[in-house]
């Protein structure tokens, strides 16, 4: 039997509590879309933390979230909607990306989770026209979304790519949602698009207004910083040793 370096620690639920549910997860990659979307879902209400993921090279970070003390990798459950969400506050150690991704797929199959919805992001510089997202699915998925499918010249990398590959290997039905996002900063608007897509797929109603409001505030802050820099550059002697933080 293969010895895994990844442990899934469930707390306070029965072994079959996850059966037939949908797994949603993502990572802090382009625009942090996967992280922002999953975090927003679990904070929207109806989710409770039911476990953790432990790795051999566990990230040495602990902090306080709105629900209390948080660990790097956490498992949440919405029993009414039959949704399991894995919230990855951090990326796993790169040496464990493959083991981590494979472990999630094997764990999902073990608990008879019905499908996976994985959230990432695409660099918005490659968006065509007004399109909001691209998507793809594994061979075993029967889902069809009313959005453009991922093109051949586009690609995903990192743990999200590995999660998709292992889902294909293990015939775990999965869909990958890839909103176009700003690669240089967190993009709450892209996360909102991902959640709206999940609403359509699962016939649920998670709110997204607060994410769009957060995106607006970020845009306003960036514009304010740009105007300050432009103003400073117009000043006489602007190149003489000023330091901008």
The sign one gets for the Cα dihedral 107, 111, 112, 118 is negative
- Per-residue pLDDT at 1 exceeds 60: no
The residue extents of the domains of the chain are: 7-209
Q: Which residue has the tokens 């979307």?
A: 37
Q: What CATH number matches the domain at 7-209, 3.40.50.10900, 3.40.50.970, 3.40.630.30, 3.40.50.700?
A: 3.40.50.10900
- The token duo for 120 is 């990432």
- Per-residue pLDDT at 197 exceeds 60: yes
- Per-residue pLDDT at 38 exceeds 60: yes
DSSP 207-233: --HHHHHHHHHHHHHHHHHHHHHHHHH
Q: Tens digits of per-residue pLDDT, 132-189?
A: 999 999 999 999 999 999 988 778 889 999 999 999 999 999 999 999 999 888 899 9
């Amino acid at each position: 039997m293969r010895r895994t370096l990844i442990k899934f620690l469930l707390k306070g639920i029965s072994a079959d509590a996850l059966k037939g549910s949908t797994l949603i997860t993502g990572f802090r990659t382009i625009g942090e879309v996967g992280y922002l979307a999953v975090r927003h879902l679990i904070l929207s209400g109806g989710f409770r933390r039911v476990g953790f993921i432990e790795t051999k090279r566990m990230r040495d970070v602990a902090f306080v979230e709105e629900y209390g003390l948080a660990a790097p990798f956490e498992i949440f459950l919405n029993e009414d909607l039959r949704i399991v969400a894995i919230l990855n506050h951090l990326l796993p150690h790169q040496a464990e990306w493959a083991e981590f991704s494979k472990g999630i797929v094997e764990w999902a199959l073990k608990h008879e989770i019905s499908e996976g919805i994985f959230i990432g992001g695409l660099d918005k510089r490659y968006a065509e026209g007004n399109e909001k997202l691209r998507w793809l699915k594994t061979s075993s998925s029967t889902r069809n979304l009313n959005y453009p499918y991922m093109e051949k010249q586009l690609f995903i990398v990192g743990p999200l790519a590995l999660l998709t590959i292992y889902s294909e290997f293990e015939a775990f039905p999965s869909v990958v949602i890839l909103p176009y996002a700003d690669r240089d900063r967190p993009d709450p608007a892209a996360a909102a698009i991902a959640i709206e897509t999940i609403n359509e797929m699962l016939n649920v109603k998670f709110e997204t207004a607060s994410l769009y409001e957060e995106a607006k505030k970020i845009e306003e802050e960036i514009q304010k910083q740009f105007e300050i820099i432009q103003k400073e550059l117009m000043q006489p002697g602007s190149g003489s040793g000023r330091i901008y933080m």
